[in-house]
Chains A and B, each alone.
Chain A
Amino acid sequence: MHFAFDDEQLGLRDAVRDLLAKHATPDVVRAAWEAPPGALDRDVWDRLVAMGVTATLVPEASGGLGLDERSLVLVLEEAGRAGLPHPLVESAAVAAPLLGADRPGALVASDLGGPHVACAADADVLLLRDRSSGDALHVVAPADVSLTPAAAVDGARRLADARWTPTPATLLTDDPADLALALDRGAAGTAAVLVGLSQAMLDMTVTHVTQRRQFGVPVGSFQAVKHHLADALKDLSFARVAVHRAAWSVAVDAPERGRDVSMAKAMASDAATSVGGASLQCHGAIGYTVEHDLHLLLKRTWALARAWGSASAHRRRVATALGA
């Protein structure tokens, strides 16, 4: 029994944190709101590829890092902290273990997390689910997908709805176990991103309430503010251990993998939502602007809380697993 990460996992996390701090700044996130479909800036993505991050789950023999979800979970938390617009969950957590050696560094968009596809027009390839016949997974070239942009609350999601035709050539797998694992990886990975988003919003808020003064004192000295943020820390802290455990469950294919993943996604979704709410409230009016960076993280939170299954849907899955 050892509930802690090792130096290699922490080292990868730290390297990604440094990289994103330099190359996935709020300006980069805002640029993702503005860039036309297909024109998402690839600088930070290329750097992540060069570091090997997108191939974390790909075996070393195939050119990847040969690590598992216990390493990737910390990377995805960092992606959440930075509000990285690029689909790292779809690409690194879900697609790479399926495609990895074939398409190194591919920016993959997918509808596995929901019908509106994030970064659809920016993708090198799309991983799509044929709901009409046995839930098969297909790998489709951008040229073979017709995209209709969808106006998103979070402009950095760069959403589009995809129309395409399944063919034998695009079929990747029709094994239900592969779909189940892909969905679990996506949900668990997104839960990690939500934990990172939560941490970023909480850190931003602590800084704000420490500096903002009213009535002659920092507003962070008021008990109501302290209590909002203590609850945010509590919710984040317990969601985080659930997310870390889910990473273990996926990595070792634990018997209760599905239940553990659903617990992580439900808790992370709810924690990020409540942390976001406390963050906005404690920022006051300045948080309710587009000039301030908070809305970038809030809007991503609202989207990801419902992507890959809502908290409610995942709770129902846990209930089923418990025989309730």
Chain B
Amino acid sequence: MLDLTWSDEEHAFKAEARAWLDASLAAWREELGEPVRSGDTREGFAQHLAWERRLFAGRWAAVSWPVEHGGRGASLWEWLLFEEAYYEAGAPPRVTQNGIFLLAPTVFAFGTPEQQAHVLPRMAAAEDLWCQGWSEPDAGSDLAGIRARATRADGGWVLDGQKTWTTRGAFCTHLFGLFRTDPAAERHRGLSYLLVPLDLPGVTVCGFGRLDGDEGFAEVFFDGAFLPDDAIPGGVVLGEVGRGWAVAMATTGSERGLTLRSPGRFLATVDRLLALARSLPAEAVDAAVRERLADVWMRAEAYRLFTLETVTRLAGGATTGADSSINKLWWSELDLDLHELALDLLGPDAELEGPWSKGHQFALSGPIYAGTNEIQRNIAAERLLGLPRA
């Protein structure tokens, strides 16, 4: 029966999370003693690491993971509620998110017990900080066109090539990446999913600036860098050699890879937007603005409902899959529209630096990262509607 209420236990779980978050955020800010900078800057990253370590100490860093890997064994429902509490509390972005939301599902699905036992707890504890090495200057949307290679050598691999658009790469300790391990194979064949420490000789990381002013991107150069097989306990290859494409693509449907952006994030942003609107003189919030406010709230709420429906199906044993493509279209467009509305409300103040203009600039990247919206539309049409490939 369609039932959209939370149980008493679930309410209690969220309240517990919120109480912990409120107290810990206050303690974190007081300990920092200075304004929090963006986590995509060097100084800010260090500040956010201190927050990550508090999360881990409270066992809130990866709530849905098994306890032995640094989680607390929470259900997907509880994870959703934790995310709601997290963003309602105004907690900062997770600088560990590329590891936790992108790498970890793959480790759960394809890692050996030894790899899991090593990689996951250190990820949750923010001791190892992971960035994603997929894109290259000549391979963005066309990921199968990558050329970075790993050549088999005695006791390991020799890495050559270049990755780019690596978010927070300049501040991370490790990279998970797709490398060409079979020189005779083409496109998506002959790729392997490798786990790479960034302090290897022959690896050079160069941060560079994003449109939003942060050093949030990096190029990573591999110049004959030797990656020993035992650089990661359990091995540096995730899944089978040569099966990297399938390994990388599999987790777009996994339950733990459910969503890079939980509904709580956008609901909280809309709440702040409504508060902004309420702070303005009445004549600034005319009928047209009221409708735009309702529209972005409805879209954030619809995203919450869509996620509840998806989680219901996952809890019942189904898998998600190409559904994630319309998900991504929805939240990325919502994020941009609500920030543009915020700037409209700010009027002449919109051109000043501040959280809304910063958020607007970041929202502009939403339709580009995690698979461009053009690619997502192709995927939705082909896999969900069955339209023929070109």
Q: Using CB atoms, name the residue of chain B closest to A244.
A: B2
Task: Tell yes or no: A62 within 8 A of B by CB.
Answer: no
Query: Interface segment, B239-247, B305-313, B358-366?
Result: B305-313
**CB pair A323 B278 closer than 8 Å:** yes
**CB pair A316 B294 closer than 8 Å:** yes
In chain B, positions 265-292 with a C-beta closer than 8 Å to chain A are 274, 277-278, 285, 287, 290-291
**CB pair B290 A226 closer than 8 Å:** no
In chain B, positions 306-354 with a C-beta closer than 8 Å to chain A are 306, 308-309, 311-313, 316, 325-326, 329-330
- Which B residues contact A (CB, under 8 angstroms)? 1-7, 10, 77, 274, 277-278, 285, 287, 290-291, 293-295, 297-299, 301-303, 305-306, 308-309, 311-313, 316, 325-326, 329-330, 374, 376-378, 380-382, 384-390
In chain A, positions 297-324 with a C-beta closer than 8 Å to chain B are 312, 315-316, 318-319, 322-324
**B interface footprint on A199-239 (CB within 8 Å = 1, 0 otherwise):** 00010001001100000011011110111011101100111
Set of chain B residues within 8 Å of A218, measured between Cβ atoms: 387-388
**CB pair B77 A4 closer than 8 Å:** no
- The distance from the CB of B222 to the nearest CB of chain A, in whole angstroms, is 34
Classify the interface of chain A: helix, strand, loop or mixed: helix
Set of chain A residues within 8 Å of B5, measured between Cβ atoms: 1
CA distance A239 to B385 in the complex (A): 17
Set of chain A residues within 8 Å of B297, measured between Cβ atoms: 318, 322, 324
**CB pair B290 A241 closer than 8 Å:** no
Partner of A230, one of B294, B299, B377: B377
Task: Tell yes or no: A81 within 8 A of B by CB.
Answer: no
Partner of A316, one of B4, B278, B290, B330: B290
Known: A209-B387, A233-B384. Contact between A315 and B291, CB under 8 A? yes
Task: Tell yes or no: A275 within 8 A of B by CB.
Answer: no
Task: Tell yes or no: A45 within 8 A of B by CB.
Answer: no
CA distance A229 to B374 in the complex (A): 12
Partner of B309, one of A4, A226, A229, A234: A4
Q: Using CB atoms, name the residue of chain A closest to B390.
A: A221
CA distance A231 to B385 in the complex (A): 11
Set of chain A residues within 8 Å of B326, measured between Cβ atoms: 230, 233-234, 237
**CB pair B4 A3 closer than 8 Å:** yes
Classify the interface of chain B: helix, strand, loop or mixed: helix
Known: A70-B2, A324-B285. Contact between A225 and B274, CB under 8 A? no
Set of chain A residues within 8 Å of B387, measured between Cβ atoms: 206, 209-210, 218, 220-221, 225-226, 229
Q: Using CB atoms, name the residue of chain A closest to B270.
A: A322
Task: Tell yes or no: A158 within 8 A of B by CB.
Answer: no
Known: A241-B302, A319-B294, A324-B290. Contact between A4 and B330, CB under 8 A? no
Partner of B295, one of A1, A229, A245, A315: A315
Set of chain B residues within 8 Å of A221, measured between Cβ atoms: 387-390
CA distance A239 to B1 in the complex (A): 20
Set of chain B residues within 8 Å of A247, measured between Cβ atoms: 2
CA distance A259 to B299 in the complex (A): 13
Task: Tell yes or no: A263 within 8 A of B by CB.
Answer: yes
CA distance A2 to B7 in the complex (A): 11
Known: A210-B386, A315-B295, A324-B294. Contact between A223 and B4, CB under 8 A? no
**CB pair B4 A237 closer than 8 Å:** no
Set of chain B residues within 8 Å of A76, measured between Cβ atoms: none
**CB pair A245 B378 closer than 8 Å:** no
CA distance A202 to B387 in the complex (A): 12
- The distance from the CB of A64 to the nearest CB of chain B, in whole angstroms, is 18
Known: A323-B274, A324-B274. Contact between A248 and B380, CB under 8 A? no
CA distance A227 to B301 in the complex (A): 24
- The distance from the CB of B116 to the nearest CB of chain A, in whole angstroms, is 29
Set of chain A residues within 8 Å of B325, measured between Cβ atoms: 230
